[in-house]
Amino acid sequence: MGDEELLRYSRHILLPELGIEGQEKLLASRVLILGLGGLGSPVALYLASSGVGELTLVDHDTVDLTNLQRQIAHDSAQLGHTKVSSAQSHIHRLNPAVRVHTHAERANAQTLKVWLNDIDLVIDCSDNFATRHLVNRACFERKIPWVFAGAITMDAQISVFDPRDPKSPCFACLFPAELAPEEVNCASLGVLAPLVGVIGSLQALEAIKVLTHIGEPLVGRLLMLEARQMRFSEMRLKRLPSCPVCAQPSLG
């Protein structure tokens, strides 16, 4: 790191858990962010400001006036622009050293195979279970850890799935595809703006922990927030022996 980087990231470097070695890991990391909405906005901005070296942004949508209540990577000047280009502009103003790649399209099984090349971690900030199941299977096949979160009204949840860990469950263990709940979104039920900021920030925090190998990420745990009473709760997760994605093959 040069003098400017040492100064920019000095508050990270002061942390004994992180230090120069941890910051250099962040600078060398490559992260894919799926969705640049309420969750993806703080994720992208915090990872950029923290010095993650390369970000790949994926979102098919454009910036709409209804987004600006909570999607802090965008502003009124970006109305009508693609969300990936809007977020890219914000990131470059925040930290010009971050390398940003953009894909203004929906993720599918084929595109994920391409986008996951040389990626160290995925953060899912989408709003549908079909995409999450695609991400889950693709990440399991590539042994890439990923951070999941969801938020609606005043409730949220977050977890980390790490296929490199033989004890880590996968998303399909928690939400089997055949039992997927009815899809809901902010457009129909609403969401409190700071809630996605809180959970998106936690996604960025978990990502940094995984990338730098510090602390204990939320692997095998689902953290839930009920914001009306500001209550956090946690549920332990186990790998399902019958999971169609991550079940270990029988040796018998």
Does 252 score more than 60 pLDDT? Answer: no
Residue 246 lies in a domain: no
What is the residue whose two structure tokens read 């997760």?
Answer: 237
Question: Which residue range is the domain that position 141 belongs to?
Answer: 3-236
pLDDT tens digits, 66-96: 999 999 999 999 999 999 999 999 999 999 9
Total count of domains within the chain: 1
Asked whether residue 35 is assigned to any structural domain, the reply reads: yes
Q: Which of 43, 51, 49, 44 is nearest to 24 (CA)?
A: 51
CA distances 6 to 1, 11, 15, 21, 25, Å, are: 6, 9, 13, 12, 14
Read off the pLDDT of each residue in 170-199 and give the average, rounded to a whole number: 83
Q: Which amino acid is at 236?
A: R
pLDDT tens for 194-235 read 999 999 999 999 999 999 999 999 999 999 999 999 999 999
Q: Are 85 and 73 in contact (CB under 8 A)?
A: no
Q: Is the pTM of this model over 0.85?
A: yes
Using CA atoms, how far apart are residues 134 and 252, in angstroms rounded to an integer? 30
Give dist(CA 61, CA 84) in Å, integer: 8
CA-based end-to-end distance of the chain: 52
CATH number (domain holding residue 153): 3.40.50.720
Determine, yes or no, domain membership for 244: no
**247 lies in some domain:** no
Residues 2-26 pLDDT 10s: 999 999 999 999 999 999 999 999 9
